[in-house]
Structure 1
């Protein structure tokens, strides 16, 4: 009878519940004094926790982050200009609830990508759908999708992602066509979902990165309006890590 119950639970895709039940049976002195509902509550809690962990793992895989960036390891040293009290609400996810954007700027190697991925990782933990792209690759994907007929599908996917991370913004000047494609993406997301931009170019110079000034006005208006701006300072984190590893 015991084996039948375990098999039934697994057939119902309640494997964590079944595993927890087996554990209770292996430790009777620990659980026998508990009432039926108390033991059942423990089993259900285990099932729910395992389901949540599995969903976070799946969301993290779908996000395709460039870096493994636990938010607990963020460097809040004074010289970086990253203030913990200001980042805490973002880690809490309030900007996602308010559909706001985050613009991260700073010199090469100062940790922009890590911060963006850390916020994305926290978004996954809070069970939001997240997707990371290097901007150049997203632009290439949009243009290719026009050719192979998958454009509508890709646009639908991008519009439904609750947090879109665009890294390496400003490495190259955008053509009018590229800017137009990106405007379509941002237009669909405006005040609906959040976007994080990471760039080594100051925000005030972004307009110069887009060859068509009319598109630049429309695109930047939607990105910059009601956004959080984080300007990172300090030496290259990659250089610092290399120096530390040499000692």
Structure 2
């Protein structure tokens, strides 16, 4: 059998992983002991795995996670950090995303909030969810510009298509009334339809005061707090360590 034309056709069909696996089978004398169905199954598995890995890599790029190395497996969870391993495992299942719930991560600077948030985002990417990481100041800036150039509805629609929206640096700096209302628009769209992770140095009990308009604050907290998991990180700042930041 002439294998070169077959390989050329496989690559033309963009089945490169299958073609590579086929070449590997040709070099492996032990493969001859396998049945046709077994060999075909191995080839299909190789192509399927390659496509799966490409989808994950694309999702991770589109998520724009701040810490690319973050993963649930890399989280250090000693008792002093106040990280519940059982809760982390539960969140790792992705059930909160399917149930459109929120995760509120709070703690002092350097305690690993961003790492945990990005780890949840990375896990969601591996599970096939669409993820987007944004610092809240950047999101508010984008919403302000979108109002000015007429793309506001389009931006809201793009955010709504995101299965998991990660909002970092929540509570950093002051918030105006217009910004509070923009934030409410985003969270109103997502309530009961999409999942949201919030990471903040500010304790949850201080969020109402931070939000400029009391009425809007009530509405925002109602959409975030009552259907959420909470992680309150403790311990000294990890930024004092010489090693890369981990929670």
Does TM, scored on the shorter chain, surpass 0.5? yes
Paired residue for 1:202? Answer: 203
Paired residue for 1:3? Answer: 4
CA offsets, 1:169-205, max 9 Å, x none? 0011211100111111111111111000000111011
Paired residue for 2:55? Answer: 55
**TM-score normalised per structure 1:** 0.95
CA offsets, 1:49-95, max 9 Å, x none? 11010000000000001112121110111101002112110011111
CA offsets, 1:15-65, max 9 Å, x none? 1111111111111x1211111110000000010111010000000000001
CA distance in 1, matches of 2:53, 2:161: 22
Consecutive aligned runs of 4 or more in structure 1 exceeding 3 Å deviation: none
SS in 2 for 1:242: coil
Paired residue for 1:64? Answer: 64
1:244 to partner: Cα distance: 9.8
Paired residue for 1:227? Answer: 228
Runs of 5+ unmatched residues, structure 1: none
1:243 to partner: Cα distance: 7.9
CA distance in 2, matches of 1:66, 1:244: 13
CA distance in 1, matches of 2:14, 2:180: 46
Paired residue for 2:214? Answer: 213
Alignment: residue pair count: 243
Paired residue for 1:37? Answer: 37
Q: How does 1:1-247 map to 2 (within 5 A)?
A: 1-27=2-28, 29-68=29-68, 69-239=70-240, 241-242=241-242
CA offsets, 1:116-171, max 9 Å, x none? 00000000111111000000000000110112232222111100100000000001
CA distance in 2, matches of 1:178, 1:147: 14
**TM-score normalised per structure 2:** 0.95
- What CA RMSD, in Å, does the superposition of the two structures yield over aligned residues? 1.4
CA distance in 2, matches of 1:115, 1:187: 25
CA distance in 1, matches of 2:92, 2:243: 29
CA distance in 2, matches of 1:72, 1:243: 17
CA distance in 2, matches of 1:3, 1:180: 62
CA offsets, 1:91-122, max 9 Å, x none? 11111121110000000110000000000000
CA distance in 1, matches of 2:161, 2:226: 20
